[in-house]
Structure 1
Amino acid sequence: MRDRNFLMENNGKPIWHPMAHPAEMRANPPKVIVKGEGVSVTDIDGRTVIDAVGGLWNVNLGYSCDPIKKAIAAQLDALPYYSAFRGTSNEPAIELAYELSQWFAPEGMVRTFFTSGGSDSVDTAMMLARQYWKIRGLSDRVKFIALKRGYHGTHFGGASLTGSINFRRAYEPLLPGVFHVPAPSTYRNPFDETDPARLARLCAKALEEEIAFQGPDTVAAFIMEPVLGAGGIIVPPPTFMRQVRDICDRHGILLIADEVVTAFGRTGEWSGSRLWGVKPDMMTIAKAITSGYFPLGATLVNEKIAEVFEADTTGLGAIGHGYTYSAHPVGCAAGIAALAETRRLAVNRNAAARGVEFGKALEALKVKHALVGDVRYKGLMAALEVVSDRDTKTPADKKTMARLADGAYEAGVMLRVSGNNIILSPPLVVTATEIAKIAEALDAGLTAAATA
C-alpha cells in the first residue's frame, strides 16, 4: 500500500466521488478509511468509529465475517470468473439462485436474474416489465409510476423512477413515460395530513387517479420501496402497500418491490414486502446479499411472469439483456456464505430488537434538540430530519449538517448526511451498547451544530 503522505496528497484529486461535488472534494478531502472490524471502521489517522451507515446500507454482517471472506478466496482458487451468457453457467450461481427461490418463496419469487448491484437490478426489472407486456401482445403498456421521494438507483431508468430532484436535475430530460405520485410521509405531504390511515388512503387515491389519467392499459408497472430509504426513511402506514397491491391487481399493473435496502432483515423482517404482507410481481435485491463484500444483485420474478416468458414460442421471450458480471461465480459464492450467516445469526430479530431501542433514543433526541424536526425509523433504518425552524419545517443548511456530522465523528460515530436528513443504517449485528453509543454521538453532534 502507498505511504500516508502519498495518499493524503492525492486524496480527493484523481477520483470523482459519487454523490459529491468534485470541487468540494478537492477543497475538503474525504475521510480515508483503511480498516473495518465488527461494526467499526478506522481512518488513516487511526481514529476508530462506529459505522452507523453500515457501509451504504449493505454491510449487514459487519466487517469481520470470515465465512464470506473464505468463500471468496476458495472460489477465486477454483474459478475466478466465467460468463453466464447463453451456453454456460457455474456452480455458485445455480446454488444461490436456488437459495433465493427458497428464501423469498413467501413472496412468490421463483426465478432469478443476476446483476452487479441495485441500479442494475432496477433497470433489469423495468426492461423485463416492458418485455412481459410485449410477449403478451400488450405493447402499449410501457409507462411506469413511482413515488415522489423514492430512490431507485443511478442508471438512466432508475434515475427516471427516482422521485427526488437532487438525483435528477443534472441529468434531465430522463426516460419518458415515468410519472410520480405523493409518498405517504406524515411529516411532509401535499395533503397536510398527519393521520397515517387517512394519508394512506389519500396517497392510494392519488395513485389510482394517475393510473386513470394515463390510461390503465398504458401502464406497465408501479415501483416502490417498502420503506423509502435515501428519501429520508419514510415508513408507510401499514395498510399502504396492501392498498397499492389491490390497485395494481384491479388494473392489471405489475408491482415491483425495490428491496435493494430492505431485503435480508433490515426492517426486522426478511423483506419489506413480507413486513407489510404483500406479494409483489418482481423484487429487486442487492447490497446485503453479499454484505457488501462483492458487487452483486438480482431481479426476482414470480410465477405469473416466469410462465409468460417460458411459454413463449414467438422469440419475444428471449432475454436480450445482461451484464458481463451477471452470475459472477465469486459474487455468488459470497452470496451463498452471506445468506448462511444471515440466517444463522437471525439478524432480522436483532434488527427488530435494536430498532426499538434506537427509536426510543431518537425520540428522546427530538425532545431535547430543537434542530430535530422529525424522527422516522423501522428496524435498523432510521433518519433524523434536521430543521432550522420546527414551526415552518425549514430544512437545515449544509453548514449545520456538516457540523452535526463532524461533531458525531469526533464523538466516535460515522453518520451519513442526505440533504437535511441524517440517515442511519448500522450493521444488523450491532449491539445494544453500540446503539447507545450512536445515540450519544448524535447528541454530541446536535449540540455542536446548535452552538457553533
Structure 2
Amino acid sequence: MRDTNFLIENNAKAIWHPMAHPADMRARPPKVMMRGSGVHVSDIEGRTLLDAVAGLWNVNLGYSCDPIKRAISEQMDALPYYSGFRGTSTGPSIQLAYELAEWFEPEGMVRSFFTSGGSDSVETALRLARQYWKIKGQSDRTKFLALKRGYHGTHFGAASVNGNANFRRNYEPLLPGVFHIPAPWTYRNPFNETDPAKLAELCAAALADEIEFQGGDTIAAFIMEPVLGAGGVIVPHESFMKLVREICDKHGILMISDEVVTGFGRTGAWSGARLWGVKPDMMTIAKAITSGYFPLGATLIGEKMAEVFEADKSGLASIGHGYTYSGHPVGCAAGIAALAETRRLRLNENAAARGSELRQALLALQSRHPIVGDVRGQGLMAALELVEDQTTKKPLDKAKMADVAAATYEADVMIRVSGNNIILSPPLIVSAADVEKIAVALDVGLLSAV
C-alpha cells in the first residue's frame, strides 16, 4: 500500500462514495480507516474509536475473529474460486446451505440461493416471486407491496420497493407495479396515532385496502423488514407482522422478510421473523452471514415455494438468474465459520442484554437533551431522532447533525447519521462498558448542537 501522505492527498479524488455527493466528499474528505480490532477501528491519524455502527450493521463478531480469517485463508489455498453456473458445486456452498436450512428451520426455510450481498438477495427474491406465479399459471401476479420508510437495497428492483425518496428520486422511473403503505411508526404517521397496537391495526388495514384496490390476484409479494433499519430503526408493535402474514395468506400473496440487517441475532432473536413469531415465504440475508469479512448473501426459500419449483415439469422453473460470485467458496467458508462463532458466543443473547442497557442509556440522554425527540430500538438496533422542537417535531438541520457526528467522533465513538436520525448498530460482542462509552460520547455530541 502507498504511504500515508499519498492516501491523505488522494482521498476522495479517484473514488466516488456510496450515499454521498461527490463534491461534498472532495470538499470535506471522509475519514480514512486503517485498522480494526475487537469493537474498535483506527483512522489514518491514529485515533482509535469504538465502532457503534459495526461497519454497516454487519461486523457482528468484531474485527478480530480469527476463525473466519483462518477459514478464508485455508479456502484460498484449497480452491479460491469456482462458478456454480456450469453444473458444479463446492464443498463450502453445500455445507453452508445445509447449515442455513438448519439455522432457519423454525422460519420454514429449506433452500438457499447464494448472492453477493443484500441488494442481490432482495433482487433475487423479487424475481423468484414473479417466477413462482408464472409456474403456478397466475402470470397476472406481478405487483409488489412494501412499507414506506423501508430499505431494501440499491438494485433497480430493490430500490423500487424502497420506501424512502432519498433512494428513489434520482433514478426514477423505477420498476412499475410497486405500491407502498404507511409504516407502523408511532413518532410520525398519517393517522396521528401514538398507540403502537392501534397503529399496527391501522397500517394493516391500509395494506388490506391497497390489496383490495389493486386486486389481490395481481400481487406477487409483500416485502418488509421486521424492524426497519436505515429508515430510522422503526420497531413495529409485536402484532404487526402477524397481521401482515394473515392478510397475505387471505389473498394468496407471498411474504418476503428482509433479514439483511435483522438476521443472525441483532434484534435479540436469530431473525426478525422469529422475533415476531412469523413464517415468511422467503427471507433475504447478507451482512452478518460473514460478519462483513467477505461479500456474501443468500435468498432463503420456504417449503411451499420450493415444492412448486421442484415439481415443475414445464421448464418454467428453470432459474435464469444468478451472479458470478453466487456460492463463492471463500465466502461460504467464511460464512460457515461466522455462523459457528455466532452460535458459540450466543450473540443473540448478548444483543438482547446490551440492547436493553443501550435503550436505557438513550432514554436518559433524551431526558437531558431537548433536541432528542424520540428514542427507538430493538436489541442492538437503535436510533435517536433529533429535532429542533419537540412539539413541532421539526427535524434538526443537516449542519447540526454533522456537528453531533463530528463531536461524537472526537469523543472516540463512530456513529451514523441518516437524515435527522443517529443510527446505532454496534458489533454484537459489545460489553456493558462499551455501551456506557457510547452513551458518554453521545452526550458530548448532543451538547455540540445546542
Q: Return the TM-score normalized by structure 1.
A: 0.99
Counterparts of residues 93-104 of structure 1 (less than 5 Å): 93-104=93-104
3-state SS, counterpart of residue 299 of structure 2? strand
Residues 265, 347 of structure 1: 8 Å contact kept: yes
Superposed CA deviations along residues 32-59 of structure 1, whole A, max 9, x for unmatched, are: 0000000000000000000000000000
Q: How does 1:42-191 map to 2 (within 5 A)?
A: 42-191=42-191
Deviation of 1:86 (Å): 3.9
**SS of aligned partner of 2:256:** strand
Partner of 1:221: 221
Deviations 1:288-321 (A, max 9, x none): 0000000000000111000000000000000000
Q: Give the letter aligned to residue 439 of structure 2.
A: A
Name the counterpart of 1:430: 430
Aligned mates of 1:324, 1:114 — CA distance in 2: 10
* Contact persistence 1:383–1:422 (CA under 8 A): yes
Question: 1:319-330, aligned counterparts within 5 Å?
Answer: 319-330=319-330
Q: Secondary structure of the residue that 1:264 maps to in structure 2? A: helix
Shift of 1:100: 0.1
Report the counterpart of residue 357 of structure 2 in structure 1: 357
CA distance in 1, matches of 2:172, 2:200: 30
Partner of 1:437, secondary structure, is helix
Amino acid at match of 1:215: G
SS in 2 for 1:205: helix
DSSP-derived class of the 2:199 partner: helix
Contact 1:407–1:449 (CA under 8 A) maintained in structure 2: no
Q: TM-score, normalised by structure 2?
A: 1.00
Other-structure match for 2:376: 376
Deviations along 1:387-418, one digit per CA (max 9) or x if unpaired, are 11111111111110100000100111001000
Q: After the TM superposition, which residues 277-288 of structure 1 pair with which residues of structure 2 at under 5 Å, given as runs? A: 277-288=277-288
Q: Deviations over 1:136-171 (max 9, x none)?
A: 000000000000000000000010000000111100
Cα deviation 1:228-277 (Å, max 9, x = unaligned): 00000000000000000000000000000000000000000000000000
What are the within-5 Å matches in structure 2 for residues 289-308 of structure 1?
Answer: 289-308=289-308
What residue ranges of structure 1 are gaps of 5+ in the alignment?
none
- What SS does structure 2 have at the residue aligned with 1:408? helix
Query: Does the CA-based 8 Å contact 1:405-1:415 persist in structure 2?
Result: yes
Runs of 4+ that moved beyond 6 A: none
Secondary structure in structure 2 of the residue aligned to 1:241:
helix
**Does the 8 Å CA contact 1:36/1:42 hold for their aligned counterparts?**
yes
Distance 2:257 2:429 in 1: 25
Question: How many residues matched?
Answer: 450
CA distance in 2, matches of 1:87, 1:253: 32
Amino acid at match of 2:107: E
Structure 1 residue matching 2:441: 3-state secondary structure: helix
Question: Could you tell me which residue of structure 2 aligns to residue 310 of structure 1?
Answer: 310
Q: Which residue type is aligned with residue 318 of structure 1? A: S
Q: Secondary structure at the match of 2:187?
A: coil
Deviates more, 1:294-303 or 1:84-93: 84-93
Q: Does residue 9 in structure 1 map to residue 31 in structure 2?
A: no
Aligned to 1:266: 266
Superposed CA offset, 1:329-356 (max 9, x none): 0000000000000000000000000011
- Structure 2 gaps of 5+ residues are none
CA distances 1:209-232 after superposition (whole Å, capped 9, x unpaired): 000000000000000000000000
String of CA shifts for 1:365-398, please: whole Å, max 9, x gaps: 1110011010100000000001111111111111
Is the contact made by 1:409 and 1:415 (CA closer than 8 Å) also made in structure 2? yes
Q: Deviations over 1:16-45 (max 9, x none)?
A: 000000000000000000000000000000
1:444 aligned onto 2:444:
yes
The 1-side partners of 2:107 and 2:250 are apart by 19
User: Aligned AA for 2:45?
Assistant: D
Tell me if structure 2 keeps the 8 A contact 1:376–1:382: yes
Q: Secondary structure at the match of 1:60?
A: coil
Separation in 1, partners of 2:312, 2:286: 29
- CA shift, 1:441, in A, is 0.4
Equivalent residue number for residue 203 of structure 1:
203
Quote the RMSD (CA, aligned, Å): 0.4
Q: Is the 8 A contact 1:408 1:444 kept in 2?
A: yes
Task: Please give the alpha-carbon distance, in whole angstroms, between the structure 2 residues aligned to 1:374 and 1:400.
Answer: 17
Letter in 1 for 2:433: T
> Sequence identity, in percent?
74
Alignment of 1:380-391 (within 5 A): 380-391=380-391
Matched, 1:212 2:192: no
Indicate the SS of the match to 2:9: helix
What displacement does 1:187 show?
0.2
Output the CA distance in 1 between the equivalents of 2:13 and 2:25.
Answer: 8
Instruction: Determine whether 1:394 maps to 2:403.
Output: no
Alpha-carbon separation, structure 1, partners of 2:352 and 2:86: 42
Deviations 1:417-438 (A, max 9, x none): 0010000000000000000000
